[in-house]
A and B are shown apart, each in its own frame.
Chain A
Amino acid sequence: MTRPEPDTLRIRARLERPGFTLDVDTALPLQGVTALFGRSGCGKTTLLRVIAGLEHPPGGEVHFRDTAWQTGKTFVPLHRRRVGLVFQESTLLPHLSVRGNLLYGYKRTPEPLRRLHLDEVARLLGIDDLLERRAEALSGGQRQRVALGRALLTSPDLLLLDEPLNALDTQTRREIMPFLARLSEETGIPSLLVTHAPDEVERLATRVAFMHDGRLERLEPLREALARADSPLFREQGAVSVLQGQLGPADQHGLHPFGPPEARYHVPSTPGASNGAGRPARLRVDARDVSIALSPPQDVSILNIIPVTIESLDEAPGHHGPARLLAVCRQHDGQTLMAELTRLSTERLRLKPGTRAHALVKSVALLD
């Protein structure tokens, strides 16, 4: 019998379902946001339900830190697991006000375990003005924020988020993402995020668990998941890079410096986004917006010219055919930048692994 590792969630479960068989034996680190990524019907939600105790796979085992949630003889029911659940559709209790919903779990949390309180959670999620409203009078985005707040107010040991943004329109998703992004940082509560949207992973995840056909195929830090050409995250939208760094104050042109001097970007302010200086931020770069030059060009309009070393050249993901290659480039600060190039240009420039070059980054997007 192996001793459970201290800060992991260990799951071993086999469960037959129409269309797939969930077959998982894994240990997920309980730190930050772990995204469960995969297509619909691959078993992500079922795995989440096993963790919550909503499914009871015979012979399965779930250990949270050193607490047994499920073994051969023990089965801790959902209401004793201290997990916060947020689903894709609205689950507010319609017979209670917003305040009643928020406090439903809070009141049932033993006083010594309450770490989060109504005022701070309402402020964190921007719902202080809604407390006396009826749950049904809220917009979709407001409802999800209240549902999130309600889960947080139980001061849970683990947050389980089942496609919480899926039912929302693009505008509302954009509005809620920052709240989710801040969540794990400010509360320190580890969370599992079920999603099939690569942009949610890029924006929110600390690490990614790729699921396929009921199995957990690979668990890796986000950085690594974005540093390989065959990443499932690129399958539909093409390759992207997500760079992590500090965002500095705007200069006289309204541009913020991002990243260390050896890989310095200049990022325009985005209206509406919080532009606090010196804070950690993520920068998203589409591989199709990156070109490669062997020497730094002097007379181009492109602002962001980053020295890189080519690491590898692979066939580009997606449906581009053999004409396009994906160059995985290493910036001098160690982070990876992807560039999508035609086979013709790589041959002309004689690019190969080890080539030192300059990446010309046409456009970047600040992820909060």
Chain B
Amino acid sequence: MFELSPTDWMAIEVTLKLAIYTTLILLVIATPIAWWLANGRAPGGLRTAVQALVALPLVLPPTVLGFYLLVLLGPAGPVGSTLENWGLNHLAFTFQGILIASVIYSLPFAVQPLQQAFANLGRRPVEIAGSLGAGRIDRFFTVILPMTRGGFIVAATLAFAHTLGEFGVILMLGGAIPGETQVLSILIYDHAEAMDFASAHRLSFGLLVFAFAVLFIVYAINRRFDTVRP
């Protein structure tokens, strides 16, 4: 029952690649945004605007986001046409395209836990580390990161898991090109459309178990981090 077709394997590979890249990129992008939102000294109005912008993917239908990204990144859009002018390809129906979409779509899931963790941390430990001679980068790796480990784990898990479950944005922007943009959720949809319920079930069940396992392991690790310290 659990024999998978080459198309299935390709979809799994694309999905994992997408989720891993998205998570890594998001940790790099979300950290400064979250720090600025939690501790920045910008005027309140600007901060509120950024906060709302970051949270937009939570409430927008994925199709809206996918639609605008298609317009933006496609051959006629400002980004897509600029790339074409430089002799590169536009990004609609490409892996890079759905990667950009995933990063935007999962941004709030990475920013919000980090922002919460930074707000709980406060400025004090950073000020102390500064008085002890640590510069910005040094402070991040020796104070902020170890003290907000839990926030980073939750942010990475949510970003990863949320990317696994992405459907609407990819459908709009990426289509279903095997090996390029056909992720598991799309393939499951295609199987079901074709009345191939057995294949759809195989992949769906696999995804269910995998998602549960990832969450379980991460929360278990996280709990150990919280209770065991040097």
Contact = CB atoms under 8 A, between A and B. Distances in A.
Same assembly: yes
Interface of A: 52, 54, 77-79, 82-85, 87, 89, 91, 93-97, 100, 104-105, 108-109, 134, 136, 150-151, 154
A93 B121 CA distance: 11
Contacts of A108: 132-134, 138
B196 interface: no
Contacts of A85: 127-128, 131
Nearest to A89: B124
A52 B126 CA distance: 13
A134 B127 CA distance: 21
A134 B230 CA distance: 6
Contact of B132 (A77, A105, A134, A136): A105
A79 B130 contact: yes
Contacts of B129: 79, 93, 104
B135 interface: yes
B146 interface: yes
Contact of A150 (B127, B132, B142, B229): B132
A93 B130 contact: no
B61 interface: no
B147 interface: yes
Given A93-B147, A134-B229, A77 B130 contact: yes
Nearest to B133: A108
Contacts of A95: 146-147, 229-230
**At the interface, is chain B mostly helix, strand, loop or mixed?**
helix
Contacts of B131: 52, 78-79, 83-85, 105, 151, 154
Nearest to B145: A95
Contacts of A79: 129-135
Contacts of B127: 52, 54, 78, 85
Contacts of B128: 85, 87, 91, 93
B133 A154 contact: yes
Interface in B52-105: none
A8 B146 CA distance: 39
A36 to B, nearest CB: 18
Contact of A109 (B133, B135, B138, B146): B133
B229 A136 contact: yes
A87 B126 CA distance: 13
A94 B228 CA distance: 11
A104 to B, nearest CB: 5
A84 B138 CA distance: 18
Given A100-B230, A104-B129, 14 more contacts: A52-B127, A78-B127, A78-B131, A79-B134, A79-B135, A84-B131, A85-B127, A85-B131, A87-B124, A89-B124, A91-B128, A95-B146, A96-B230, A97-B230
8 contacts: A79-B129, A79-B133, A83-B131, A87-B124, A100-B230, A104-B132, A108-B133, A108-B138
A104 B133 CA distance: 9
